[in-house]
Each structure stands twice: as structure tokens, then as C-alpha cells.
Amino acid sequence: MLDKLISNFTPLDIEKLRTDGFYDNFFNSKKIDTERIERGSGWEECEECPICGSRVQEIEFSYLNINIARCPGCSHRYTDKVPMNFSEVYNSEEYSAAVEKLELQQKDYRADRFGKERAEIAVQLFDNTDKAVLDVGCGWGYFLSHLKSRGFDCYGIELSKQVADFSRKQYGLDILTVPIEEYDSGIEFDLITLFGVVEHIKDPISFLKHCRRLLRRGGFVLIFTPNFESIAVRIMLENANMIYPGQHLHHFTCGSINETAARLQMSIYSYSTNGIDIGDICTYYKYLNRNEVAAFLLENAVMLQCVIDGSNCANHMRVILQRTDD
């Protein structure tokens, strides 16, 4: 069983994704972003579960004075405060500069490693490539460029004008800079993809209903989002990468994905987890100067991550929802 998992496993290059000083920079960025929100419009209390509506909250832990609340009804985790003004989060010069720096540093690796892998998932969903795909939050266009080369009819939504312009010029992609609520191309899409998007949305159920509206009957929504029930979170707790107040408002679990699908009247076509838990934990232990533990993890990274992925407790979940009714 383990041999089969390892043979099918494509390892990530930890040194490319987690460069020297990663956690010093990352923790500092979280602090700066939170302080910018506090100096600006401040926070709005979130008093009920954004997935099932329950007003019962249990506090999982706190980070930078923001609580991560647990819903005992659907097991969803969410921040008990959200920014009053999201433009202070995503339209700041600091945020734009940080995102651009990260993407440009890792552009070739991300395009080759993640673009190809995600495109292959889409290809396997269909018998042919004569399909219409909408990538919401399409970023720098790596995924869509790979799909376009395979014959798919590709469209994107990207709210950053600078990033959208790059995707148009670099890959000739059809990208609009409008929110999903205003998107109306007249196309019934076969596939809508959300890579690292839903955790940033204040009201994910409303957002996903708009995605469903754009799907043909039988069409799919492919979601990549952090998995709260992961080994990385269990070890790193509030220091886990996904804990990012002001940006990551939601932390999905298997239970809250089931609840989400039910509220959207969609079926779960596929659920799995894949991750970089060992890479994150290894880098974190280096940050703590626990170098012997870090060295052991790095030496056994492939085997350990294979077991974690195969146990569905890796730190990124991959969910495919299907519209099966009118």
C-alpha cells in the first residue's frame, strides 16, 4: 500500500516554496496586515457560522487577538472578526508588492508544478476537451494556460487589474476584472475552478451559489482550500500557515464541506487531501532551531507526506462538487 502511494506521489520542492527566512517574513506579514486593518476601518464581529448559521461558538485558539471559532453543528472553523473594508486587505501597496514578489520568485516552478497538475485534474473529468472552464481568482494564468494548450475554452476572473493584464498579455487569456456576482458571459460552464479562493470570501455560501448559477447541469466546481483537520494544524496550531486573520476567514473541514454541498444542493463528486505538511512543519522546526527534528522530517519527507495524503489529513483539500439537479 505504501509503495503504491510513494510511486504515485509527486514531491514538492520544499526549498523553492519555503525559502530561508520564510517564517520570519510570514509571521511579520500577518502582524503588519492585522495592524493595517486595525488602523483603518477595523473589524466586524462574526456572530454566527457562515456555513450553517449556528450562533453557538467554541473557541479553538486565538492569534493576533482574533479568535478561531468552531461551530459544533457543522465543525466549520472561522474567524470571529472580519475586516470592515476588504480593500484595506487586498488593495494595499504592501499586499500587492508581497504577492508580486512571491509569484515572480517562484513563477517558473509554480507554472510547471501546479499549473500542469491542476490542468490534469480537469482533463480527467471529461471525455473530451471541448469544454468551457471559468477559473475564479485566476491569478497569473498558469492553470488556464495549460488548459488552453489542451483545447479547452478558457475564461478567468481576476480582480487585480495588474495581474489580469499579465495573464492577457502572456497567455492571450479572456480575463474579466468583475466580481462573480456581476459576471454574466451567457456561457454555461462545464467547470468552475476555485484555487485558494473560498477561504478569503466573507459569505462563501452566497459566493458558491453564484458559481452554481453559471454551471450547466452536470457541471463541476473544483475547490482547493486549506484543510483545518490536518497534521500541520494539529502540530503547529495557531502558527500553521493557514491561520491568517484578515485574509483566511474560513477553515473548512470534511463536515463543513458536506454542509456546504447540502446547502448548495450539489453532490460531492470527489474529496481528497494533498499537502505540504512535512515541508511546513520542517521549516517551522528550523525556525524554532530544532534542527535535529527538522533534519529527520526532511530525510523522510516523501514517505511521511504520502501517509498523510493517503489518510486524508493533509493541509490542502481538493473538493469537486457537481450540479446534479435543476
pLDDT in tens, 228-276: 999 999 999 999 999 999 999 999 999 999 999 999 999 999 999 999 9
> CB 44: neighbour CB atoms within 10 A?
12
Provide the whole-model pTM. 0.92
Q: DSSP alpha helices (H): ranges in 52-155?
A: 87-90, 93-110, 116-125, 142-149
For position 3, what pLDDT does the model report?
A: 46
* CATH H-level superfamily of 2-322: Vaccinia Virus protein VP39 (3.40.50.150)
Residues in the chain: 326
Long-range Cβ contacts of 58-66 (<8 Å, 24+ apart): 61/237, 61/238, 62/238, 63/30, 63/238, 63/239, 63/243, 63/245, 64/30, 64/31, 64/34, 64/245, 65/34, 66/34, 66/245, 66/246
Neighbour tally for 244: CB within 10 Å: 21
pLDDT value of position 128: 84
Residue whose cell numbers read 462538487: 321
Residue 2: predicted pLDDT: 38
Rounded to whole angstroms, how far apart are CA atoms 227 and 248? 12
For residue 185, the model assigns a pLDDT of 86
The residues facing 272 across adjacent strands are 318
**pLDDT by residue for the chain (326 residues), tens digit each?**
434 433 455 666 777 778 788 899 889 989 988 999 999 999 999 999 999 999 999 999 999 999 999 999 999 999 999 999 987 777 666 666 666 665 666 667 767 777 888 899 999 999 888 899 999 999 889 899 999 999 999 999 998 888 888 889 989 999 998 899 999 888 999 999 999 999 999 999 999 999 999 999 999 999 999 999 999 999 999 999 999 999 999 999 999 999 999 999 999 999 999 999 999 999 999 999 999 999 999 999 989 999 999 899 999 999 999 999 76
Domains of the chain by residue range: 2-322
Three-state DSSP class for residue 155? strand
Using one digit for the tens of pLDDT, what is the confidence trace for 53-71? 999 999 999 999 999 999 9
Q: What's the pLDDT score for residue 22? A: 87
pLDDT at 99: 63
- The answer to whether the beta carbons of residues 30 and 79 sit under 8 Å apart is no
The DSSP H or E segment spanning 126 is none
